[in-house]
Amino acid sequence: MGIQVHKVKSTKIPIGLFCLLIVFPAITYAQSDTTKKLKEVEVKTSSIPLIQTPTPAQQVTTSDFTRYSAFNVADAIRDFAGVNIKDYGGIGGLKVVSVRSLGADNTAVLYNGVQLNDAQNGQIDLSKFNLANIQSITLYNAQPPDICQTARAYSSANVLAIQTIQPHLSPEKPFKIMAGVKAGSFGLFNPYLQWQQRISKYWSFVINSYDEEAKGRYKYKENGDGSDTLAIRRNTDVHTQEADAELYWIKSDSNKFNLQFNFYNSSRGLPSAVVYQAAPTTQRLYNRDYSMQAGYQHIADNGLQILLNTKISQSSVRYTDTGGVYNNQGFIDENYRQRDFYQSAAVAYHILPEWKVSYSSDFDVSSLSSDVYSYDFPTRLSLFNVLATDVSIGKWRFQGNVLHTYINDEVKTGTVASSKSAFSPAFIANYQPFTSTDLKLRAYCKSTFRNPTFSEQYYYAIAPRPLKPEYSSQYDLGAVYTKSLEGIFDYITLSADGYYNYVKDKIIYIPTRSPEIPSVVNLGKVDIRGLDVVIKSQFKPFYGWKGVLALNYTYQNAIDITDPTDTFYLDQISYTPKNTLAINAGLTHNGFGIYYNQIAATHRYDASNNTEQYYLPGYSISDGSLVYNFLINKLPVMASAVALTCSGNALASECVSFALSRVSGPNR
């Protein structure tokens, strides 16, 4: 019996500084029995990327994390076409994803099929997730292809689906243990541990944990004031602990249950902006989150499919600032606690072999409490109901759905915002013109509805802000071609999608005299026209060698069309380059792997006005990694080292930010 080798990720650091990763990924013990063992048969096949779904989809799996030099979920998807990773605060900062310039609030994050909810600000921090426990990450434009899913999965413009590892153990290999440590520049130290255990024929569990410590103090050149001196970035330390456990009952692919628990705790400094001759900031952020979710899926022989999901969670946030605060106390100490209960039920049925219909209903209650002055203590009831259908007729495949969203708020003090209700339709069409080739044409149109978050609606508002929901309309037309080959190349895939997005009543912040009292209004209208091109291939250049190559190109013309009298009318929206190219290449041979990644983007602006004052040059970020898999006392071990560099017209601050956080978007 062979021992399976599990690849794990490695971290990135600036050129000349290396991160060493030592992993003992699998420890298994065999049980003696009298059963005759057959010889193991090894089946080899190439894995074709997931892009032939009804709507555009891009995916990375566990085996890809190493070659993408991924340290967290944001790193793993940074090369995706149409993706812009936003990094707020460096190594310990919030990392969110904006897809096709629609903003992070319009990208739903599903964790094993259940949407993560942040009613306070609507953005999910992608740096929280432990990659050692993730099996796949898939980005769907519009929505996932299976119509038997939670109703909330239909409610966003884009969906990032995270699937955790499920144990595949046997009586001969009843458990696996994986341990590893990452260490790098700026005091980074990150040990982690995973234990997979088979309990019985149908039951098993997985336990994961990690600890991350980093000082985050790096040097940078401060020449804006003419001094040309080296300064040290301060208040950038990070202390994070995370643990999760999953219990699985899997009788078959059509009859399974899972129960999951997650704990996340962090303390981090907020370095804020660099202000010449100013003292370092003393702002700190503390997070402590608990969540538990359960899911059950059953597919009957008669075509009836049932999907049930339940989740309860609590998120606590503490924000402090002990220096330079001009209030009666001389400091800021704010505490927030969000509690959430979520229940979803979905049922689907095959009326005919090629015709499937479904109905999904979700119920969510979110409450937020705080000790800030004159807080409203809001509680929000959200109801989602959707009817969907999926039908194939000859060379055509059609999907359609209508989602109804109802939002109702209650507050303990103050005045409550009015209830909101909306219908959001979507229509998807696929056409395969030739039965002899793997060419498919696809198109979709979809409307989405986003209600204001608690922060937008109530934060420091004397009365509820008269905000309208944000509406987005999406249109996409594309083609995808996939071909399995013989010879040097295993396969080649090519996809191209042109799209148009229109955002109405966009919710934006307008700074006021006090930074603690922002004004939130519906002013924005954005016109987005773009093109995503994806090319991927796997090849064998020499005997025993294997190579991979992926190129993702994105063009986005995202302009503000709010008011013709504005000076920034028809200007590109902030922090959005028009052209972005991502390249990933790698070679493996006899346990050795060498990988290279590069992201190049053209110029952009850090404000709505596209003037020289706000101009940010284009940048190029690249990293290379070496990986070696070997055995020590019959135990598989993986070691890797990664180096990162910035070139071209990249800003110095961007280079440092990328080196610390390993994220491919500009630092806002």
pLDDT of residue 245: 95
Q: Please list the ranges in the chain whose pLDDT falls under 70.
A: 1-52, 89-92, 222-229, 273-279, 511-518, 646-668
Residue position matching structure tokens 């063009």: 555
Per the document, the length of the chain is: 668
- How far is residue 250 CA from its own chain's centroid? 27
pLDDT of residue 496: 96
Number of continuous H segments (helices) and E segments (strands) in the chain: 4, 33
pLDDT of residue 51: 53
pLDDT of residue 34: 43
> Which 3 state secondary structure label does DSSP give 314?
strand
Other beta carbons less than 10 A from residue 35's beta carbon? 8
> Which 3 state secondary structure label does DSSP give 520?
strand
What residues form DSSP beta bridges with 396?
393, 431
Looking at 270-377, which runs of residues are DSSP E strands?
Answer: 283-299, 304-321, 332-352, 355-370
Element (H, E) at 449: strand 439-450
CB contact burial 36-46 (16+ within 10 A = b; e otherwise):
eeeeeeeeeee
| Short-list 645, 284, 613, CA closest to 654 | 645
Q: For the chain, which domains are there?
A: 20-31+44-661 (2.40.170.20)
Q: 279 with 323: CB under 8 angstroms?
A: yes
Give every strand in the sheet of 134-141, ordered side by side: 57-61, 134-141, 158-164, 107-111, 114-115
Tokens of 496: 């191209």
Burial of 247 (0-12, 13-18, 19+ CB in 10 A): middle
pLDDT of residue 477: 97
pTM of this structure: 0.87
CA atoms of 161 and 96, how far apart (whole Å): 14
What residues form DSSP beta bridges with 574?
none
pLDDT of residue 306: 97
Q: Give the torsion through C-alpha atoms of 513, 517, 521, 526, to 10 deg.
A: 80
Residue position matching structure tokens 């013109």: 433
Q: Give the torsion through C-alpha atoms of 646, 651, 652, 653, to 10 deg.
A: -110
DSSP annotation of 31 reads P
pLDDT of residue 397: 95
> Which 3 state secondary structure label does DSSP give 112?
coil
- Digit-coded pLDDT (tens) for 496-507: 999 999 999 988
pLDDT of residue 5: 36
- How far is residue 662 CA from its own chain's centroid? 14
pLDDT of residue 647: 59
CA atoms of 548 and 401, how far apart (whole Å): 37
Query: Cα–Cα distances in Å, from 365 out to 73, 107, 153?
Result: 27, 20, 17
Other beta carbons less than 10 A from residue 31's beta carbon? 9
